[in-house]
Amino acid sequence: MALSARTPTTAKTYYYVPAVYSKRVEEAVKSNLVAWDSIDSTWETELVKGDTLYIAKSNTVEASVVVVGTKGTALNPLNTSGVTLSIDQWYQAPVDIDYMTIRQTHNNPEGIAVTEAKYAISVVMDTSVCTLFSTLGGYSTSGYGADGQTLDDNILLAMIEVLNAANVPTTDRSLILDPSSLTDMLKIDKFIAAQYVSIGAVTNGVIGKSPIYGCTVKMTNNLVATTTGAYGCLLHKKAIAGAAQIMNSWTKEYEDLHQRRYHSEALWGVVELNEYWGVPFFTRAF
């Protein structure tokens, strides 16, 4: 119903009843960013100078039967093409706030500026990793199953079998999916049963470790879209290599412009390190 009139009627008109602005600010909705933390970014320590890192790879060799009086054929464990990690992505997120606004507002624009600038950089770094999912496993911009499929136990076990058959280590595996696929997984009894998986508080998209599937389940809205769903991935940490050469956040005064800049930037690169150490799959919806 409508509010009744005030007595005296000028109480609101002449500011005796103020309109109060909240000191709290509702943050913008953000995606969980889990992809960069799921890959091998230890290569950063190798890239001291330059814009390219050449990563050598060994290959397995096969033993042969000993034949007395015959010299064995020499083996070559250095017979696999290396990988080139190029530092070719450079992004920035600057936020400018003038001195008058900083001085007069009762909110915290500086804190907001720093938070949002850092998040903007994290998004593009995470996206660069997600973009490589569809090329893993020899799929070349495709994935396991059909676009729009419901993720079920059979699909998960089939992808695990693919990694196991390729001799991929059973540790450091991640299952990165979107909300639709997580919903599908929560309908799998053995995933949610207490004796198989311990799901506590969801922190930054990490749902929890699943001993039955041998991976950490992570959920994000930052996957690359397909026609119906998106490209999720079951991968080992060393399926993708990444290195960040610059990760800076700084504040600078521009007195002549009467403003302060809050700036975040990153210079990095990602590359498929072990093609068959990851299996992309289609999710149900995006």
pLDDT in tens, 41-58: 998 888 878 899 999 999
Specify the pairing of strand 278-282 against strand 231-236.
antiparallel
- pLDDT computed for residue 152 by the predictor: 96
Does residue 223 sit within a domain? Answer: yes
Does residue 17 sit within a domain? Answer: no
Does residue 221 sit within a domain? Answer: yes
Total domain count for the chain?
1
Does residue 48 sit within a domain? Answer: no
Does residue 4 sit within a domain? Answer: no
Distance CA 155, CA 165 (A): 15
Does residue 24 sit within a domain? Answer: no
pLDDT tens-digit readout, 70-115? 999 999 999 999 999 999 999 999 999 999 999 998 888 899 999 9
Distance CA 35, CA 174 (A): 9
Does residue 35 sit within a domain? Answer: no
Q: What domain range includes position 167? A: 84-282
Write the single-letter amino acid at 71.
K
- Confidence at 18, pLDDT banded by 50, 70, 90: confident
Does residue 147 sit within a domain? Answer: yes
Percentages helix, strand, coil for the chain (3-state, rounded to 5) are: 25, 30, 45
- Confidence at 10, pLDDT banded by 50, 70, 90: confident
CB-based burial, 237-260: b 16+ in 10 Å, e otherwise: bbbbbbbbbeeeeeeeeeeeeebb
Strand (E) or helix (H) holding 184: helix 179-185
Residue 196 has pLDDT above 60, yes or no: no
DSSP E strands in the chain: the ranges are 52-57, 80-86, 89-98, 173-177, 206-210, 215-219, 231-236, 240-254, 259-272, 278-282
pTM over cut 0.75: yes
